[in-house]
Amino acid sequence: MMPNRLDALADLSDAARADWYASLKEDEADVLGLYWPLWARAEQMPPTDDWHTWLICAGRGFGKTRAGAEWVRAVARSDPEARIALVGASLGEVRSVMIEGESGILAVSPPDYAPQWEPSLRRLSWPGGARGYCYSAAEPEALRGPQHSHAWCDEIAKWDNAGERATAAWDNLQMGLRLGEHPRVAATTTPRAVPLVRRLLEESEADDVAVTRGTTWDNEGNLPTRFVNRMRRQFARTTLGRQELDGELLTDIEGALWTRAMLEECRTSPPPLQGRGSGGGADTLTRIVIGVDPPASAHGDACGIVVCGVDEEGLATVLADESVERASPEKWARAVARAAERWQADRVIAEANQGGAMVESVLRAGEVSLPVKLVHASRGKAARAEPVAALYEVGRVRHAGLFAKLEDQLCGLIVGGGYEGPGRSPDRADALVWALTELMLGRRGRPRVRGM
């Protein structure tokens, strides 16, 4: 079939195109099923103008991975000399998502032009001569030296930026993009306010960075109906939904105690194993506590349950957000007990304003056997949070992973009082404040040497 006839088919409605495709013979269907311009949405195709970086910044399920894999396939077929860097948050993700995933390079490649995949060499070799090489953004030095003509960088907002590793990996890659007449890089990501994403969006206003924006709903026809309905039901009109589904880069509230950039700067990898005594990353922690902000009723706010630890250097780590929504006293008490057992916590710190001794009795009934300390709120939530926010500003708190709902609440607490985040109350943020106050600001905080 001639290309112009295929282009005409691409202009048909999804239903008409599906009916036509169903009428084909099996061998014809196999061939045309791999003709990407026929099935791609316009925003999944590379921009037609001149660009060096193509940033696809869109919600989950948009089809970013498929667009990146198809772009790599097109580059490999059109340029036998192409040397393509494949960069992910880790080598495991490069392999499982970008290469072997359901929308990865191997899945979208036709049998007669599929690359040879050599995992031990971290290399793809296409029949025409093009090659792809795998890199982890967590090891930026590995990108210092190799030369490439093209690159596909996946989920750049997930790249570990501790010690500015993410930006170092990107910069080292850029310095090695010097093969061929027109080096190019495609970057696919769900938007988060990390330094690298913000930098590329700023460069797009005056440089050769082309940006494609999109939402989960743009690809609704190719997603399971139950998934779409569940996402709408659970996350519609929420801050998390705006970021993860609508592909919106969230901005900070004026006067907020925490900013998105501050939280991204403190991001670190989760401990390999939970709890202590098992050889995992949590073994370096000398004390672990669980902050609890009980709800006033089972039909009101969530019960905030946040696990935090501190090491010998006096650095705190937020380990987990185990909060539960619309829970009865029995349910949230059991959730606290499970978190305490999982993380081998030393103490539970629970706000007692909503019932005093009742809170402790509920925890005991939920089989919380470790010491329980009841704390009373004498100041507003934002006022209590200010000293904890100051710990973040000086780099004394880290987040072991992404805690979206908790971080949304932190970014809603305003200097001087007030809350403008999601929900009626910052229950998760309050639990974090109680835990970190106990670890870092209480009498049992970091030991200090007093002058003589």
User: Which of 206-215, 264-273, 319-328 shows the lowest per-residue confidence on average (mean pLDDT)?
Assistant: 264-273
Residue 434 predicted with pLDDT over 80: yes
Domain membership flag for residue 7: no
Q: Quick one: 275 and 369 in the same domain?
A: yes
Is the domain of 270 the same as that of 230?
no
Q: Is 290 found in the same domain as 228? A: no
The CATH number linked to 125 is 3.40.50.300
Both 225 and 323 in a single domain?
Answer: no
| Prediction pTM value | 0.67
| Share of residues in the chain with pLDDT > 90 (%) | 51
Task: Give the end of a domain, one of 242, 274, 292.
Answer: 242
- In which domain, by residue range, is 328 found? 260-441
Confidence at 4, pLDDT banded by 50, 70, 90? low
214, 275: one domain: no
* pLDDT at residue 30, as a whole number: 65
Last residue of a domain, one of 209, 242, 275: 242
Together in a domain, 44 and 136: yes
pLDDT value at 287 more than 50 = yes
Q: Are 283 and 277 in contact (CB under 8 A)?
A: yes
The verdict on 283 and 389 lying in the same domain is yes
Give the whole-angstrom CA distance, residue 384 versus residue 324. 22
Q: Model confidence over 10-34: pLDDT tens digits? A: 566 666 766 766 776 666 666 666 7
DSSP 96-120: IIIISSTTSHHHHS-GGGPPEEEGG
Domain count, the chain: 2
**62, 78, 125, 355, 364 from 86: Cα distances, Å:** 20, 18, 13, 55, 52
Give the torsion sign (CA, 48, 49, 54, 60). negative
Q: What pLDDT digit, counting tens, does each position of 117-174 carry? A: 999 999 999 999 999 999 999 999 999 989 999 999 999 998 987 778 899 999 999 9
Domain boundary among 242, 276, 295: 242
CATH number (domain holding residue 392): 3.30.420.240
Is residue 25, in this structure, part of any structural domain at all?
Answer: no
Same domain, 189 and 270: no
Can you tell me which residue has the tokens 């939970």? Answer: 274
